[in-house]
Amino acid sequence: MKAMILAAGRGERLRPLTDSTPKPLLMAGGKALIVWHLQGLARAGWREVVINHAHLGEQIEAALGDGSDFGLRIAYSPEPVGALETAGGIATALPLLGEDPFLVVNGDIWCDWDFAQARRIACLLDKRRAHLLLVDNPAHHPGGDFCLDGEDLRTTTGRRDGALTYAGIGVFWPDFFAPVAAGVKMKLRPLLDAGIAGGTVTGQRHNGRWVDVGTSERLAELDLALAQNR
């Protein structure tokens, strides 16, 4: 099973930090955000990781190399200026990801979820083509993204009760991205909505620690919290 780390975003809300440093290389707790992911994947038994990039992507490749420092093999999926959004980036990287289900992790989050759980999820074929990790809604996103009906994902339909936020971690089957041609810019939400309508998207709630590092304030808070726990 392979993993993909999404690292192509510009990080507008983190400017000016991201004017000279790609968002996944910003430091928290003494490590780059993406290094936390790589080390977590290695601990969970991963060996092959795909990373997409666009803004200052050459810095990401220079910092991480071939992945051998982490006990991994890293392949890169470069994207054009402006990037391809989540679905477009994953669809373009499919030749590197193979024919089996794969794990996807946003490069600008921090989470204590055990990546090893993704292997169990991937073995439960059934009808699912995507499985998302959800968390309680943070203060900056009170409306959430989806609801859970057991394991089945549902749209919120404008209601906040029961709504949860997509954590930026999911397991996907390659054919989930069949509607997206390589190189085409496309967000993930339309595919998820179609999958929900077809009953092929599931999810689970994570009650542990999760941070969306979308602003310099949240990055500073995470840096302090991780430094105190060292």
| Calpha distance 44→139 (Å, rounded) | 30
**pLDDT at residue 204, rounded to an integer:** 95
| Calpha distance 165→123 (Å, rounded) | 24
pLDDT digits 0-9 by tens, 32-45: 999 999 999 999 99
**pLDDT at residue 8, rounded to an integer:** 94
pTM over the 0.75 mark: yes
3-state secondary structure of 117: helix
Which of 92, 94, 42, 49 has its CA nearest to residue 71?
42
**pLDDT at residue 115, rounded to an integer:** 96
Measured in whole angstroms, the distance separating CA 5 from the mean position of its chain's CA atoms is 6
pLDDT digits 0-9 by tens, 86-123: 999 999 999 999 999 999 999 999 999 999 999 999 88
Which of 10, 87, 91, 102 has its CA nearest to residue 49?
102
Tokens 């941070």 locate to: 211
Confidence bin at 17 (pLDDT 50/70/90): confident
